[in-house]
Structure 1
Amino acid sequence: MYAGKFITLEGIDGAGKSTQLAYLSALLQQKQQTVVVTREPGGTALGERLRALLLDQSSAMHPETEALLMFAARREHIDKVIVPALQDGSWVVSDRFTDASFAYQGGGRQIDREKLALLEQWVQGGLQPDLTLFFDVPIELGLQRVSAMKTPDRFEQERQDFFRRVRDAYLARACEFPQRIHIIDARQPVNAVKAEVASTIETLCAGSRL
């Protein structure tokens, strides 16, 4: 048990996580919480270097190499950012965490789930988010949003069948952990999504007696 709370945001590319991340951070600050906003892969100096490597379109690598690099970055992230912040009573809000590995490396790259579960236990022990917001959006809409915003990175340039496996893996993970993972329909207008985020956070805050 930590003094702070750990919230993660998940979803396929184009689900609108960045917009909601900024909104959630501001919402928690309005509630007089100290908020640490971070991301995966990344969050530390080493993690950001690994992120650049993992997202670079020219970085060809074995799927298991990709998964190991993701968890290596996560080990540093937990040690240098997440746990210290939680111990200090801060609320940590992260753009992706381990659910993304089960979705992208497990579903997308089709790596054995048991291998990922072993890495999860080794790297983070019993650490899990207090709440995960999964922004669900149809594959076609997500890809359309990404293509309109920027040049796709190494993951975003994958084919639709890759992202279907990713989305299916996310939904399976949500079914496995229904108490932690809250599914939000990201097809809704931005303000409707924000309202659902706010409602979910109110429930978490009420449970924390804030």
Structure 2
Amino acid sequence: MVLKVSGLRYRVGNREVLKSVDLVVRSGQSVSISGPSGCGKSTLLMCCLGLVKPDAGGVVVCGQRMDQLSGRRLLRHRRESVGMVFQAGELLPELAPLENVAIAGLLASMSRAEAFARAEELLAELAVPTKGADTGSLSGGERQRVAVARALVNRPSLILADEPTGALDSAARETVADLLYALPERWQCGLVVVTHDPDVAARAQRRLLLTDGCLIPARTFEPAGTGASS
């Protein structure tokens, strides 16, 4: 397995955001997590990245307890094992797409030649222009494809995506969703997508809802007659 979350608890003030979260994601598997704003979906992803330390429970990514790593060990393991795609891409608009992707490889100690070659290969595969344009001049869908390429540059075992289609129009949303959900089989990685969009969530092999601080199968929470399935 590439991700195992066990008995995760996290409190903000008097509110227990995560009460007892369990989750297992295997290589080649996609999981979507839905739920209302403020329910703790992004907090859960931050715990998986090791950026937020839970009050109880543990997160294991590729055999390493993220909540027990710190400093350079945590940073190195995260760079080697996890790729992250944010809603707004979190790219540097003044840099070219190629540079935005390659920089992730450089930070993971790839040689300059390897990082740029890997970046160019990924962008070509994802049909993103690499010449004559800064990242800021790309369309929303193109920027998200750059973000996906950046997440893949280090060949991670786990991809986490936080509302990756939330800022896109319907056409770009479909393109990016197609791309994301093809990753587990194509790259033999695990994928966790946090999304408010029921159509994007429905593409996952497993659909979960974060409600009252716990993860439950989505179909047990949805009203009868909606026709939704996991």
TM-score bracket for the superposition, by shorter chain length: 0.3 to 0.5
Larger strand fraction of residues: 2
Larger helix fraction of residues: 1
Give the TM-score taking structure 2 as reference length. 0.37
Give the TM-score taking structure 1 as reference length. 0.40
Q: Which protein is bigger by CA-based radius of gyration? A: 2
